[in-house]
Amino acid sequence: MPLFPVLTMLTFSQRLTNLTSRIPGHVYLWLAIPIFGSASAVTRKITEIGAEHFVGGHNPISYCNVLFTGNLCALLVLIALHRHQWSRNTWRQISRREWLGLVAVAILSGALAPGLIFQALSLTPVTNVLLLGRLEPPLTLALSIWLLRERLNRWEILGSIVAFTGVVLTIVLQTDRSHMATVAGLQVGLGELMAVSGAICLSVATIVAKKYLTHVPLGIHNTMRTGLGTIVYFWLALWMYGAEHFTGVLSPFLWQWMLLYGTVIVVIGQSLWNAGLRNSSIATASLVGSFAPIVGILAAYLILGEMPTRAQYIGGMVILLGLFLGRVGIKARTERLNRMGVNSIETEQEIEARMGFRGI
C-alpha cells in the first residue's frame, strides 16, 4: 500500500481528534439529549411502521423483536469492547456473592424492566411511560436510605418526595379507563402499572449493584446484564406468548431498522454522552440531563402527534419541579465529594437514572 494514503489518513484522524477535543463538553451533552429523549417515541414509531409491513401475518418490528434483536446487537458490541476483561484471573477475583448480584441485576434490569417498559409502550401513551418512569430516582433514593444507610441532603429528599407526588398525580388523574386493573382498590391502567413496575425493577437493580457490584469490572457488569438478560427475556416471552411471538425476527426489514436505531439511538447517543461526561462537571451533566423528560414529551408530540392530557400536564409539572430540587441536591453533594476527593461515578449513574429510558 502506498505510503501517501496512509499518511493522509493519519493526518485526517489527527485533525478530527484535534477538532473534537476543542468542542466544549456541554455541547456533546446537549447533542445527546435529543437522541435519548426521543428514544421512546422512536421505538413506538418504528413498531407502527412495522405494522404496515406484515411478514407472515405478523409485525416484524414488534416490541419483542426490537428488544431481542437490539440486545443481541448490543451484546456483540460489548463482547468486542470488553473481551479482555473476561479472563480466568478476572473470574477468580469475583466472589460468589458478586456473581449472584450480577445474575440478579441481569434479570431485573436486563430482562424484566425493559420487557415491562416495552409492554407499557404498547398499552399507554409514550408521555405516560416517560412521566411514570420518573418513579425510579425517588424510589432508589428511598431504598438507599433504608437499605444502604446512605445520608442524603434535604434537597434530594424534598425533590424525591415532590417527584413521587407527581407520579401519583399522573396515575390518579387519568381519565382513559381502557385496559384498567384494580390495585389496592384503585383503578390503574395496565400500561401505567407496567411502567411503574419497570421503574421498580430498575431501582432494585441499582441498589443491588451499589451493594454488591462496586468492585466488579464495568465491562463484565454490562456484558453479563445484556447477555443473561436477553436469554431470560427470550425464554419468558416464549413461555408467556409462544414461539410465534418472535415471527419475523430474521426479517431484513426488521434488521435494517434496527441497524439505524442502534447506530443513532445507542451508539451515537451514548458516545456523545460519554464524551460530554469526560469533559464536563457533574453539575453540568445533571442540569443537561434534567431536560431529557421534557425533550421526550416534545418528541412524542412531534413524532407521534401525542397531545399531553390534563393529568400529564399536572403530574409532569410536579415531577419536573422534583427533578429540579433533586438537581440542586446532587450539585451540593457533588461539590462536597469533590472537596473530599471522592469518586463521583455513582453520582453519574444517578444522573442517567433521572433521564429515563434511553434506548436499548
The ranges assigned to domains in the chain are 24-354
pLDDT at 256: 86
pLDDT at 14: 53
Question: CA angle, corner 194, sides to 291 and 260, nearest 5?
Answer: 55
Task: Give mean pLDDT in consecutive 10-residue pieces for the chain, a chain of 360 residues.
Answer: 46 51 78 87 90 81 86 80 80 89 93 90 88 84 82 80 87 69 61 90 88 83 87 89 79 85 76 74 69 86 90 88 78 60 50 55
pLDDT at 88: 80
Q: Where are the beta strands (DSSP E) in 87-245?
A: 180-183, 186-189
Those residues whose C-beta lies under 8 Å from the C-beta of residue 237, and which sit 6 or more positions away, are: 64, 68, 115, 245, 246
Give the count of beta carbons closer than 10 Å to the beta carbon of residue 151.
9
Helix (H, G, I), strand (E, B) or coil at 183: strand
Phi/psi region, residue 185 (left: phi>0; alpha: psi -120 to 50; beta: rest), is left
pLDDT at 6: 43
